Amino acid sequence: MIKLKLAELPQGVGFRDIYGAALLAGIGFTMSIFISDLAFSDPQLIQVAKVGIFTASILAAVLGVFMLLSGKKKDTQSL
């Protein structure tokens, strides 16, 4: 919408902030664990799914925080 000039970012918000918030949204894993419990009957498959879900959630958290903090460093250096 921004590239089509139908919307604009709020003052002080950049695309790095949008991407960081989107990555942090990947942390919400509770529904994925519930669905994996319903989808698989084999306990080993459920465990593999949970490891994958937790790994993806941790990766999303680390990347999201890194993305948001790296954008703030540039902002504070210019002050």
Show the low-confidence residues of the chain (pLDDT under 70).
Answer: 72-79
pLDDT at 77: 46
pLDDT at 45: 94
Which residue type is seen at 26? G
Q: How far is CA 33 from CA 1, 8, 44, 47, in A?
A: 33, 36, 14, 10
Domain boundaries, the chain: 15-77
C-alpha to C-alpha distance for 1 and 48, rounded to whole angstroms: 39
User: Would you say 64 and 27 are in contact if contact means Cβ atoms under 8 Å apart?
Assistant: yes
pLDDT at 62: 92
Number of H helices, E strands in the chain: 3, 0
pLDDT at 22: 86
Map residue 13 onto helix, strand or coil. coil
0.85 surpassed by pTM: no
pLDDT at 73: 53
